[in-house]
């Protein structure tokens, strides 16, 4: 295989001139450019990305921490992040083995070792120190004061959900929360939901779910548990995937939707469209785009202007509520 030296020799220039042209890092005259281009073509020269990466000290890879791409929320956010990263010349390194302190520590080590230029995390263990002076963007997670956060307006989400349940006459709402370990700001929606409902005399109960786990058997078991524990539940707020299991369980127990039971989904992915759920739609495309924009800025040494970027949600009326 031809090397950069072969190209330089054939073009009658120095290897560093070829490098200047290929990396676009300095002035090369039009005449010289033409000679180099012709030599590259003649020799069928392909630059070795590993060498280029080393010389630029960049991998052009961004690690995306998302525990399970078969979970509609994770899959959707990964899809859009990958789309925007690609359009900016970066590639996505999938980091799925998340949810433990040790795997997240390993991702930070990879970041230190230059395996990737930065990390965008949808979940990250709060006990793992991130202060390695490398680009890091968090979605929903309040990790520390130096890490920018991109998120939906979860307080607004909680307010809207509460108001919808009340308008639909619900008196006993069960909502699913993610594991509190993760210090996710998505928990804000649950606090406001519970507070507003209680102020209006409704009963509120909480079931804690393992984040973003898409295993059917697990979700089935949790749906059964919900109806066993709270047989008079008349409103459920949770992720679409879990609501699908609740829908099945409700049918088996003879509960009619929306007459006896109202369901409101909290992500608003394709699974809400498919199942005609009433949903609070998170603007996942906008969140992905802002995360990528921040990441690209950080890899270029720019600083972020705000620490928290918040996006408004919207409501999609489906068939699982009356109004």
Binding interface with a copy of itself (CB under 8 A): 46-51, 53-54, 57-59, 61, 64, 68-70, 72, 75-76, 78-79, 82-83, 86, 91-97, 109-110, 112-115, 214-216, 241, 244-245, 248, 269-270, 273-274, 276
- Report the nearest approach of a copy of itself to the CB of residue 119 (Å): 13
The encoded tokens of residue 88 equal 């900016």
- Report the nearest approach of a copy of itself to the CB of residue 209 (Å): 16
Query: Which of residues 91 and 198 has its CB atom nearest to a copy of itself in the complex?
Result: 91
- Report the nearest approach of a copy of itself to the CB of residue 104 (Å): 14
Pairing of strands 314-316, 61-65: unpaired
The CA–CA distances, whole Å, from 113 to 98, 109, 157, 285 equal: 19, 6, 39, 30
Query: Which of residues 136 and 304 has its CB atom nearest to a copy of itself in the complex?
Result: 136
Query: Which of residues 91 and 146 has its CB atom nearest to a copy of itself in the complex?
Result: 91
| Residue 318: Cβ-neighbour burial (10 angstroms; 0-12, 13-18, 19+) | middle
- Report the nearest approach of a copy of itself to the CB of residue 265 (Å): 14
Distance CA 121, CA 99 (A): 11
Query: Which of residues 32 and 299 has its CB atom nearest to a copy of itself in the complex?
Result: 299
- Report the nearest approach of a copy of itself to the CB of residue 114 (Å): 5
HSE value, Cβ hemisphere, 13 Å, CA-based, for 73: 26
- Report the nearest approach of a copy of itself to the CB of residue 138 (Å): 20
- Judged by DSSP in three states, 278 sits in strand
- Report the nearest approach of a copy of itself to the CB of residue 38 (Å): 19
| Residue 291: Cβ-neighbour burial (10 angstroms; 0-12, 13-18, 19+) | buried
Query: Which of residues 13 and 66 has its CB atom nearest to a copy of itself in the complex?
Result: 66
Phi-psi label, residue 68: left if phi above 0, alpha if psi -120 to 50, beta otherwise: beta
Distance CA 157, CA 131 (A): 31
Distance CA 60, CA 296 (A): 10
- Report the nearest approach of a copy of itself to the CB of residue 283 (Å): 16
- Judged by DSSP in three states, 321 sits in coil
Angle between the 30-43 and 4-11 helix axes, to the nearest 10 degrees? 120
The CA–CA distances, whole Å, from 29 to 33, 35, 85 equal: 6, 10, 32
Neighbours of 15 (CB within 10 A): 15
Query: Which of residues 64 and 147 has its CB atom nearest to a copy of itself in the complex?
Result: 64
Distance CA 288, CA 87 (A): 12
Query: Which of residues 79 and 155 has its CB atom nearest to a copy of itself in the complex?
Result: 79
Query: Which of residues 156 and 247 has its CB atom nearest to a copy of itself in the complex?
Result: 247
């Amino acid at each position: 295989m031809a090397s950069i030296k072969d190209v330089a020799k054939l073009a009658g220039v120095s290897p560093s001139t070829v490098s200047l042209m290929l990396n676009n890092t300095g002035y090369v005259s039009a005449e010289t450019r033409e000679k180099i281009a012709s030599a590259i073509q003649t020799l069928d020269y392909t630059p070795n990305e590993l060498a280029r990466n080393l010389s630029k000290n960049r991998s052009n890879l961004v690690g995306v921490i998302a525990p399970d791409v078969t979970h509609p929320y994770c899959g959707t956010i990964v899809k859009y992040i990958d789309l925007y990263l690609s359009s900016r010349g970066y590639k996505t390194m999938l980091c799925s083995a998340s949810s433990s302190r040790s795997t997240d520590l390993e991702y930070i080590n990879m970041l230190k070792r230059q395996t990737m230029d930065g990390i965008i995390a949808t979940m990250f263990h709060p006990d793992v120190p991130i202060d390695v002076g490398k680009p890091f963007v968090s979605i929903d997670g309040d990790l520390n004061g130096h890490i920018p956060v991109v998120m939906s307006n979860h307080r607004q989400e909680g307010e809207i959900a509460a108001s919808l349940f009340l308008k639909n006459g619900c008196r006993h709402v069960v909502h699913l929360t993610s594991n509190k370990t993760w210090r996710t700001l998505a928990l804000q929606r649950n606090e406001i939901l519970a507070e507003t409902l209680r102020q209006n005399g409704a009963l509120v109960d909480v079931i804690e779910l393992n984040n973003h786990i898409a295993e059917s058997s697990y979700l089935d078991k949790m749906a059964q548990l919900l109806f066993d524990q709270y047989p008079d539940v008349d409103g459920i707020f949770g992720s679409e995937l879990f609501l699908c299991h609740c829908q099945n369980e409700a049918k088996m127990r003879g509960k009619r939707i929306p007459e006896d039971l109202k369901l409101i989904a909290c992500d608003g992915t394709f699974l809400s469209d498919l199942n005609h759920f009433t949903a609070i739609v998170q603007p996942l495309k906008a969140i992905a785009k802002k995360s990528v924009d921040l990441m690209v800025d950080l890899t270029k040494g720019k600083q972020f202007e705000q620490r928290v970027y918040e996006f408004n949600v919207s409501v999609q009326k489906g068939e699982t509520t009356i109004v």
